[in-house]
Amino acid sequence: MVTKVIVHQGYQISGPATHRASMPVVLNYLVAAVLLTARPSSAQDALSAVRDLYNAAAYEDALVRLNTLQRSPQARDERRAMDEYRAYCLLALGRTSEAEQAIEAVVTAAPSFHPSERDESPHVRAAFRDVRQRVLPAIIQQRYIEAKATFDRGDRAAAKVEFQQVVDLLGQEDLAAIVDKPPLSELRTLATSFRDLSAKAAPAPAPRSAPTPAAAGARATGAPRIFGLEDSSVAPPVAIRQSWAALGDVFAVRTGTIAIVIDETGAVELAAMTDPVNPVYDRLAIATAKGWRYRPATLDGAPVKFRKVILLDLKATR
């Protein structure tokens, strides 16, 4: 029996010359070898080469090319697509933990992204779905905080767009099982209300007397404004009960930050992780923060809503 050996750029495929079933494998290796020796002229060309390597089932080679491409300053605009193909290759190689990290990067950069049903297998789509269910709640909470900050700055047009993005993300099919439960159920109501308020907002009438800048801002919104440390005319809330001790009984308190909104009664109306740790830990931290109590912030003696950011720190107890 005659044996044919093909050696090309470090690949060696041997087998019977008459065994036609080996030809697809040989062709895949030949495609990979050609692609590895090609010199792409741009990040898009390099990404196309990665895509071709993936389609040729040359997953390790595609990862090598991605690692090289990642170090290129021209690849900045292709980062999301690079992480996408990194995830595909790692899943194909059975490196699930690394694949999930790549998927997290994709979802963080593009929360609405879904793999194509036509191009990707059910296994790939299921992996993306599982990661999206895990990380989207924290992403949505962060997006809401950013939208609210835009609203508080008075940029109503931009706030309307940002609140709509929050509402759209809450409508993602992957979140159907949890979207009607806290904290997402509360965010849907708040985001929808502030979106509609941003759309209807009109200039406030001229005041009869010169108010403080913070009071003027509160009237201009047409709804209770959420103040912050930047509002010097507002007396900030005073903690009555603010402790991570309950969380410390379950986990060692880790570095992170949480943003809370304290309402006019001194209760925590909304809590969201601004520096997430992990989904389980974040949920417990949010639940702990929602049990805190304060003497509310005041403006000219009247209680007002107040936003503050708190470090996760066992020493910050009261």
**pLDDT tens, position by position, 205-240:** 445 445 455 444 444 444 578 888 777 788 999 999
- Average pLDDT taken over every residue of the chain: 76
For residues 279 and 272, the model is more confident at 272
User: How far apart, in Å, are the Cα atoms of 271 and each of 134, 214, 304?
Assistant: 18, 23, 17
What pLDDT score was predicted for residue 253? 56
Query: Domain segments of the chain: what residues?
Result: 3-109, 136-201, 224-318
pLDDT > 90: what percent of the chain?
25
What pLDDT score was predicted for residue 8? 36
Nearest-angstrom CA–CA distance, 247 and 234? 31
User: How far apart, in Å, are the Cα atoms of 190 and each of 142, 164, 197, 205?
Assistant: 13, 11, 10, 26
Residues 285-306: what's their mean pLDDT? Answer: 90
Of the CATH numbers 1.10.150, 3.30.2420, 3.30.70, 3.40.50, which one belongs to the domain with range 224-318?
Answer: 3.30.2420
Residues 300-308: what's their mean pLDDT? Answer: 90
What pLDDT score was predicted for residue 275? 66
Strands 3-8, 238-241: parallel, antiparallel or unpaired by DSSP?
unpaired
Nearest-angstrom CA–CA distance, 184 and 141? 8
Residues 176-198: what's their mean pLDDT? Answer: 81
Residues 240-247: what's their mean pLDDT? Answer: 80
Inform me whether the pLDDT recorded for 279 exceeds 50. yes
Inform me whether the pLDDT recorded for 274 exceeds 50. yes
What pLDDT score was predicted for residue 271? 84
Place 88 in a pLDDT band, splitting at 50, 70 and 90.
very high
What pLDDT score was predicted for residue 35? 45
Residues 33-41: what's their mean pLDDT? Answer: 47
Residues 181-198: what's their mean pLDDT? Answer: 80
Task: Name the residue among 217, 215, 171 with its Cα closest to residue 191.
Answer: 171
Residues 181-190: what's their mean pLDDT? Answer: 77
Q: What ranges make up the beta strands (E) of the chain?
A: 3-8, 11-16, 226-227, 234-235, 238-241, 257-262, 268-275, 293-295, 297-299, 302-311
Query: Which residue bears the tokens 């090319």?
Result: 65
Inform me whether the pLDDT recorded for 116 exceeds 50. yes
Place 7 in a pLDDT band, splitting at 50, 70 and 90.
very low
Residues 141-148: what's their mean pLDDT? Answer: 86
Inform me whether the pLDDT recorded for 91 exceeds 90. yes
Inform me whether the pLDDT recorded for 110 exceeds 70. yes
Per-range mean pLDDT, top range of 95-104, 113-122, 131-140, 186-195: 95-104
The token pair at 131 is: 């990661």
Peptide bond into 213 cis (omega under 30): no
Nearest-angstrom CA–CA distance, 207 and 54? 65
Residues 69-84: what's their mean pLDDT? Answer: 79
The token pair at 16 is: 């019977």
- The residues that bridge with 255 in the sheet, in sequence order, are none
Contacts with 248 (C-beta within 8 Å, 6 or more apart), sequence order: 314
Label residue 151 exposed, middle or buried (CB < 10 Å: 0-12, 13-18, 19+): buried
Inform me whether the pLDDT recorded for 315 exceeds 60. no
User: How far apart, in Å, are the Cα atoms of 273 and each of 52, 60, 123?
Assistant: 40, 36, 30
Inform me whether the pLDDT recorded for 245 exceeds 80. no
